[in-house]
Amino acid sequence: MGISCVDRVSAFLTNIDTKKHLNVFLSVYGQEALTRAAEVDSRIRSKTAGKLAGLVIGLKDVLCFQDHPLQAGSKILDGFISQFNATAVQRLLDEDAIIIGRQNCDEFAMGSSNENSAFGPVLNDIDNTRVPGGSSGGSAVAVMADLCDVSIGSDTGGSVRQPAAFCGILGLKPTYSRISRYGLIAYGSSFDCIGIFGKKIEQIALVLEVMAGADEFDSTVSRKPVPSYTSELNADPNKKYKVAYIRETVDTEVLQPEIKKLIVEKIKQLKNAGHVVEPIEFPLTEYILPTYYILATAEASSNLSRYDGVRYGFRSKQVTDLESLYKKTRSEGFGKEVQRRILLGTFVLSASYYDAYYTKAQKVRRLIREKTKAIFSNYDFILSPTTPSTAFKLGSHTSNPLEMYLADLFSVQANVAGVPALSVPCGFDNEGLPIGLQVTADDFEESKLFQFSQVIPNLV
């Protein structure tokens, strides 16, 4: 007899209590999770339970879970309660997953350290003076510190893979459009992807299988059939792959020496194991980050215009007329980084600068996508570091936004191109902090990513 769902939920609740100082959960649905666990236990006994029976899941504070609070880490959504379930959340529930709580994150998923949350930063469980990464910092630490089995986050420019790397766990950003965005709070809609954190690739594959697929509530979601990722996991373990690495992502000054050493070692080991690994040039590398920050802020400025003090959550008390209602609510309700991005986004969309910035960035995005796709006509994967450094100290990058944006250097290419990518924990630096390597594949090749993720950590 296996351990019951009620026992597993109780154990996670105890861990959550012991690790309160990490500031991971904004709400814990303790009683509710226990009640549901008991129901799932009885369905398991009667052999009527779903595919995820007993899997305990945490949700980043950007996913609608009906009748539960939702704030995107922001004061502007104070008091807001979800009216419906996100499609992804509904599908988890339909397969008997147990939702244990709502996880802290950077405000509106904007950030790389979780220091932009209105609820304070999340601490890295390996070293409490360090950040967990962001924006899905709470979701990463929840899995790292055994506060749930799997977390669901969002990845617009690296927000699942970067914190996964900083916390020594797996983090998947699927192909854009693989999972419905219905019920995911919008940041940059043409980049936003729901992503998955876990310690076991089997669980990530299973959860993706459940959440992915067509949805009448999201017109951008793919109608491609969803493969059985779990049954394809171990297909041909001896397969030899062709792997590319972009020379500038390995031969670069910005890379922490231990990360460089690790990736060079992995390249050697892959070759020894009979895989083809080759350096390639990607002349557009320097344009990836600017393209992302122009387009993502433009989309954010439009998406966040709905938070006006009329329709949702928080409203300023200092209001005298309609204009002051908008201005005061948005000035008091949004934090500094969100305001900076709305201003930047509004600027790049303004009549006199639209062509110089927004239109230009769209064209460069197209080129980046085409050139990235071209790599996959010759190679199965692109291998890179997930991040230029391991988890940095709290407060070390907060005064310089550009320095913070550099944390996304390697992760944004997958979002700009729309392709899937997975961060795999592969080692530690000299201070014992985890290092993640990133594997990127062509559109809809998640199965291949999962297969390869089992090859890399075990190379010798």
Give yes or no for a cis peptide into 135 (omega within 30° of 0). yes
46 φ/ψ angles, rounded to the nearest 5 degrees: -90, 10
- Give the Cα separation of 203 and 370 in Å (integer): 32
CB nearer to ligand GLN: give 108 or 379. 108
In sequence order, the 6+-apart residues with CB closer than 8 A to the CB of 261 are none
Applying CB under 6 A, which residues contact ligand GLN?
109-112, 135, 154-159, 187, 296, 408
Length of the chain: 460
**Residue 347 carries which side chain, given as an amino acid letter?**
F
CA 332 to chain centre: 27
Least Å distance between CB 370 and ligand GLN? 23
Give the whole-angstrom CA distance, residue 206 versus residue 208: 5
- CB-based contacts of 254: which residues, under 8 Å, 6+ apart? 388, 406, 409
For residue 223, the number of C-alpha atoms closer than 13 Å in the C-beta half-sphere is 3
Active-site residues: which are they? Answer: 60, 135, 159
CA distance 274 to 301: 48
Closest CA to 30 of 64, 68, 66: 68
Question: Is the Cβ of residue 299 or residue 445 nearer to ligand GLN in the bound state?
Answer: 299
Give the CB-nearest residue to ligand GLN: 159
**CA–CA gap between residue 391 and residue 363 (Å, rounded):** 34
CA-to-CA separations, 21 to 121, 228, 333, in angstroms, rounded: 10, 39, 25
